[in-house]
Amino acid sequence: MTKLRVYELAKQLGISSKKLITILEDLDVTVKNHMSTIDEDTAKLVIELIEEESGKGKKKSAQSYDTKKSEITSTKTEDNNKNERKVITIPRKISVKDLGVLMGIEPVKIIKKLMDYGLMVNINAEIDFESAKKLASEFEFDVTEEKEDGQDLLIKEESDDPKDLKPRPPVVTVMGHVDHGKTSLLDAIRQTSVTKQEAGGITQHIGASEVEVNGKKIVFLDTPGHEAFTAMRARGAKVTDIAILVVAADDGVMPQTVEAVNHAKAAGVPIIVAINKIDKPAANPDRIKQQLADYGLIPEEWGGDTIFVNVSAKAKTGIDQLLEMVLLVAEMSELKANYNCKARGVIIEAKLDKGRGPIATVLVQRGTLRVGDGIVAGTSYGKVRALFNSRGKRIKAAGPSMPVEVLGLSEVPTAGDILIAVSSEKEAKSIAEEQKNLQKEPEYNTPKKISLNRLFEKL
């Protein structure tokens, strides 16, 4: 069955998406926003309704809504009585809520099923195509994948002249279940000791660091494994070129391991599996490989294409091999960026320092950020007063893939906000003010979220 996005149908009908959503609500069809999809039958009913409305005036149309409502309900009942499997078309990732709408099944039932798989999610959580397919199949639906065309309406991406593009270091996110050794592994890589400084050894934020291997830079982002940080990890996956999935060899695949796999897959990020804690007597790397094969991560020696490396963060074994694999995957990705333009980056984390004011950790993704640049991130603006690299050394400029601490913003920005450099502080201020005014508008929230997501996907 053909699927249409709300905005596409609205455009065809010459009405606003908002109006169309109201009409759909009257028909008891719940859609999330203008990017949501509706099926052909519903679209036809809406078209009929609008035609009637324009022909016969408002009073009649109120009755029509009820008639149409019952038509939809009766179609649904008929469908349910047929014992054949229905086909739904879904995008590469879909929220639990949207999937529920598409299948006509209460989200709570979907959430319950996901719990059976060991996934704790809420109604807004996004699940990847493979999981959605498996899930839909349990509800007697077949699934086809939607083509991702026309999704980037809201973003005008600046394009780079290919001659301006130069290689940039890979950004690697370390993901995995709580306590499986993500931070320890990074410690081993950096030969420092971050875990010892952490409260209770639990990572509370995304830490960024840079290392140099054989003269090549690699940027690492550490992520917390606690389930409350799902949203942050989702964000991590989108600024990421490569994901290292850490699985403790004595513990195996756990709920947050699966979540991490789903996030990385949804973002189209290559995964390298680091089987950690192989120094432990109970370590069983083969069991991990078997478990991960169920999620589509098949080791090369079994005919798949996922790289697995056995490591011990404690005994510092396998680290060189892991780094070699990171460089190999990075090389294949041919990562490039423009260094010669105004900077744009993502706020990785931000805090208020008593003495120094708002401090933001920014991952520069494009261009070069310099001391003195006007900057804006959401409603926060200012001028770069100082830049510090991941070792706390003061620097004058930061190019693509570089994580830097930025001083000089007017307020603490939100993690996930995009930071852009502009010609002057004055310009930065006026953009920030515009953003503030925009936030006051009632319609602001939905489009903002979408545009931000799209932006992440583009980066």
List residues near ligand GTP by CB under 6 A: 176, 178-184, 195, 201-203, 224-225, 276-277, 279-280, 312-314
State the binding partner of 184 from ligand GTP, Mg ion, none, CB within 5 to 8 A by kind: ligand GTP
Looking at beta carbons only, is 57 or 201 nearer to Mg ion? 201
Shortest separation between residue 32's beta carbon and Mg ion, angstroms: 33
By CB neighbour count within 10 A (0-12 exposed, 13-18 middle, 19+ buried), where does 194 fall?
middle
Q: Which stretch binds Mg ion (CB under 5 A): 181-189, 204-212, 401-409, 426-434?
A: 181-189
Residue with the CB atom nearest ligand GTP in the bound state: 225
178 annotated ligand binder: yes
Looking at beta carbons only, is 90 or 206 nearer to ligand GTP? 206
Distance, C-alpha 7 to centroid of its chain: 23
Looking at beta carbons only, is 262 or 453 nearer to ligand GTP? 262
- Whether the Cβ atoms of residue 347 and residue 235 lie closer than 8 Å to each other: no
Looking at beta carbons only, is 35 or 246 nearer to ligand GTP? 246
Helices (H) and strands (E) in the chain, counts: 15, 23
The angle subtended at Cα 327 by Cα 341 and Cα 304, nearest 5°, is 120
In angstroms, rounded to a whole number, what is the distance separating the alpha carbons of residues 91 and 293?
A: 23
In angstroms, rounded to a whole number, what is the distance separating the alpha carbons of residues 208 and 51?
A: 56
169 annotated ligand binder: no
**Tokens standing for 122?**
């809420």
For position 230 contacting Mg ion by CB under 5 A, the verdict is no
180 annotated ligand binder: yes
- Whether the Cβ atoms of residue 350 and residue 412 lie closer than 8 Å to each other: yes
State the binding partner of 230 from Mg ion, ligand GTP, none, CB within 5 to 8 A by kind: none
- Residue pointed to by tokens 């320890």: 184
Shortest separation between residue 99's beta carbon and ligand GTP, angstroms: 28
In angstroms, rounded to a whole number, what is the distance separating the alpha carbons of residues 408 and 306?
A: 43
In angstroms, rounded to a whole number, what is the distance separating the alpha carbons of residues 25 and 195?
A: 51
Shortest separation between residue 221's beta carbon and Mg ion, angstroms: 11
34 annotated ligand binder: no
Shortest separation between residue 376's beta carbon and Mg ion, angstroms: 31
For position 183 contacting Mg ion by CB under 5 A, the verdict is yes
Question: How many other C-beta atoms are found inside a 10 Å radius of the C-beta of residue 417?
Answer: 20
Written as one string, the DSSP assignment of 324-382 is HHHHHHHHHHT-EEE-SSB-EEEEEEEEEETTTEEEEEEEEEESBEETT-EEEETTEEE
In angstroms, rounded to a whole number, what is the distance separating the alpha carbons of residues 440 and 202?
A: 37
Shortest separation between residue 24's beta carbon and Mg ion, angstroms: 44
183 annotated ligand binder: yes
163 annotated ligand binder: no
Residues of span 197-216 touching Mg ion by CB under 5 A: 203
**HEC states along 41-86?**
HHHHHHHHHHHHHHHHCHHHHHHHHHHHHHHHHHHHHHHHHCCCCE
Q: Which stretch binds Mg ion (CB under 5 A): 43-51, 69-77, 98-106, 195-203?
A: 195-203
143 annotated ligand binder: no
Residue 228 DSSP code: G
222 annotated ligand binder: yes
- Whether the Cβ atoms of residue 170 and residue 210 lie closer than 8 Å to each other: no
Looking at beta carbons only, is 95 or 183 nearer to Mg ion? 183
Distance, C-alpha 10 to centroid of its chain: 27
Looking at beta carbons only, is 49 or 313 nearer to ligand GTP? 313
State the binding partner of 31 from Mg ion, ligand GTP, none, CB within 5 to 8 A by kind: none
Looking at beta carbons only, is 47 or 202 nearer to ligand GTP? 202
Shortest separation between residue 183's beta carbon and ligand GTP, angstroms: 3
226 annotated ligand binder: yes
201 annotated ligand binder: no
**Tokens standing for 148?**
């991702």
Residue ranges in contact with Mg ion by CB under 5 A: 182-183, 203
Annotated binding site for GTP: 176-183, 222-226, 276-279
Binding residues: 176-183, 222-226, 276-279
